[in-house]
Amino acid sequence: MPVKTRTFAVVCTACLFLPVAGVTAAQASLPGAAQQSAVIAAVGLDDPAKKEIAMKLVSSAENSSLDWRAQFKYIEDIGDGRGYTAGIIGFCSGTHDMLELVREYTRRKPGNVLAKYLPALERVDGSDSHEGLDPNYTKDWKTAAKDKVFQDTQEAERDRVYFNPSVNRAKQDGLRTLGQFIYYDAIVMHGDGGDKTSFSNIRKRAMAKAKTPAQGGDETAYLNAFLDARVWAMKQEEAHSDTSRVDTAQRVFLRNGNFDLKTPLSWKVYGDSFSIK
């Protein structure tokens, strides 16, 4: 996907001193900004248990399965104009992230089974072409997926390109775990380039309607505005026009006030029911 960019919100100093749910006695004694940071860090999506939930939620939408680790070997062209979509986060041959993944895998393990495709991946980057990849790329991808080095590389690139930037941005915006996941799921699908449906522009549309918590806004109102903007972005592409991952999953958690993504969780995607006990 397009190269990520990062911007920084102006923090409303008055809102930093408002009570926040889940504040411990020790955290309550901290200055306002430190208190907010401590609370968000304590319930963050980067907590291992919460991150596992996030991976399952995304996998339910991307692969109709909670078994996200089974997706290292996944690869197909889903007809969305991005070429091959593959792996645990939907790396695409047409959106640069697959090229970066294979480059990093080759750096870690020279001579791997995918290294020979680097020239072809460079040529098809930005298009839906399979030129130089067919007929054996999908078979070789599945072979590579058995390699722990490739699995580790997929996870590292997922975190570097998608998970860490989105979670950090959400924390800066004063969002708790659910909001951090909502940002993460958006950046997974839309990337963060300059086009109107990118993550950053979805966020800008939301901020035109509601303030972030860091700006003194209401968290529920802001997240509803963000999800409205996300649905708009999804409907710009036929391949992503089914908005159930928002309507019958993320909005359900938001309506329930489950800002910390506490289990049990129940949701639907594309009509399929899922739950985490």
**Residue 93 near residue 84 (C-beta atoms within 8 A):** yes
Burial of 66 (0-12, 13-18, 19+ CB in 10 A): middle
- Residue pointed to by tokens 């290294």: 115
- For residue 76, the cross-strand partners are 85
Amino acid at 59: S
Beta-sheet strands, E only, within 80-202 = 84-86, 91-92
- Residue pointed to by tokens 């020979």: 116
- For this structure, is 62 an active site residue? yes
Distances (CA, A) of 60 to 111, 135, 237: 34, 29, 20
Exactly one of 46, 47, 80, 155 is catalytic; which is it?
80
Q: Residue 184: name the closest of 16, 50, 35 by CA.
A: 50
Structure letter (DSSP) for residue 3: P
Beta-sheet strands, E only, within 31-171 = 75-77, 84-86, 91-92
Token pair in block for residue 85: 């979509």
Exactly one of 46, 47, 52, 62 is catalytic; which is it?
62
Strands 75-77 and 84-86: antiparallel
- For this structure, is 80 an active site residue? yes
Whether the bond between 264 and the residue before it is cis, its omega within 30 degrees of 0, is: yes
Catalytic site residues? 62, 80
